[in-house]
Structure 1
Amino acid sequence: MTLHAVPGPEMTAADLYAVLELRHLVFVVEQVCPYPELDGRDLLPDTVHLWWQPDSTPLSYLRVLGAPGSERRVGRVCTAATARGTGLGSKLMAAAIDLIGPDESVLDAQLPAQALYARFGYLPEGEPFDEDGILHIRMRRPGQSRTATSV
């Protein structure tokens, strides 16, 4: 199983198609949620796509928006139905946290997934809200102080 971490502008057409297909299958088809899944952020210079892939098909995916040193946003977190319960989602979030480093980050969690994100230091913020017929809650992971090293 390979972890891919690819900046938006470096996505190949084949990789972009594969991750968009997974996102579409999970968010639009499985969750019966027709919404504008393509939002113009996938190829931005500050977008990084992370996904686990054993062969030609991604099984778990997310993207991180925002430049290092700024507030980052984790989104489009999904795992193929056939790979749920295998721990890939947790491994993917751990990789995202490594990428984000000490920066503050936010995400909009579907309520059933709130406990997953809490394990990575995300705290609920505000009240649950309806997004396309699914209850979500904003969650924030505070920035971590950078420790200075003495020489």
Structure 2
Amino acid sequence: MDLKLDWHFKTFDELNTRELYDILQLRNEVFVVEQKCCFLDLDGKDQKSHHLSGYQDGKLMAFSRIVPPGVSYEYVSIGRIAVSGQGRGMGFGIELLNESIKKVELLYGKSIIRIGAQLYLKTFYGSFGFIQSSDIYLEDDIEHIEMTRQITR
């Protein structure tokens, strides 16, 4: 698969101030402004996570963080999955999930992966092998479910 984005994969301490600003700006654009959620994005997990950032022409278009087992869930997780509104419909979300799963396997080998997903994205995440593993719950007035991807061979 030809990559559309230029991917950067770093620990929190490896991020420079520009990269950190870009990440926080994208997350705020998507989760706070677009989804109208008032929540504390800075949850103390970033420092423990690896950060996957996809750039196009110097602009951050897609982001996720790889959270170690025992921090969010008992399993490794992929969180804060976000694609810029300017990049939607261009396949960046597919590329982001594929790259995120590759990075999980690079760090942890073939592993069970858990995510907290917005319910409307169930089919999207299902296309990557994630299966609903919880009842529906509300988070910031948005329906969510936990989804789990079992170890694949």
Same fold (TM over 0.5): yes
CA RMSD across the alignment: 1.4
- Tell me by how many angstroms 1:128 deviates: 0.8
- Tell me by how many angstroms 1:98 deviates: 0.9
Equivalent residue for 1:77, pick from 78, 81, 85:
81
- How far apart are the structure 1 equivalents of 2:104 and 2:60? 21
- How far apart are the structure 2 equivalents of 1:72 and 1:141? 10
- Tell me by how many angstroms 1:56 deviates: 2.8
Pairing 1:43–2:47 present: yes
Matches within 5 A, 1:79-118: 79-101=83-105, 102-118=110-126
Matches within 5 A, 1:1-151: 1-44=5-48, 47-66=49-68, 71-101=75-105, 102-144=110-152
TM-score by length of 1: 0.88
Aligned amino acid, residue 17 of structure 1: Y
TM-score by length of 2: 0.87
- How far apart are the structure 1 equivalents of 2:89 and 2:9? 22
Q: Higher Cα Rg: structure 1 or 2?
A: 1
Percent identity between the two aligned chains: 30
SS at match of 1:77: strand
- How far apart are the structure 2 equivalents of 1:13 and 1:55? 18
Aligned amino acid, residue 105 of structure 1: I
Unaligned runs of 5+ in 1: 146-151
- How far apart are the structure 1 equivalents of 2:138 and 2:113? 21
Structure 1 residues 120-147: Cα deviation after superposition (integer angstroms, max 9, x where no partner): 11100121110001000100011346xx
Aligned amino acid, residue 11 of structure 2: P
SS at match of 1:108: strand
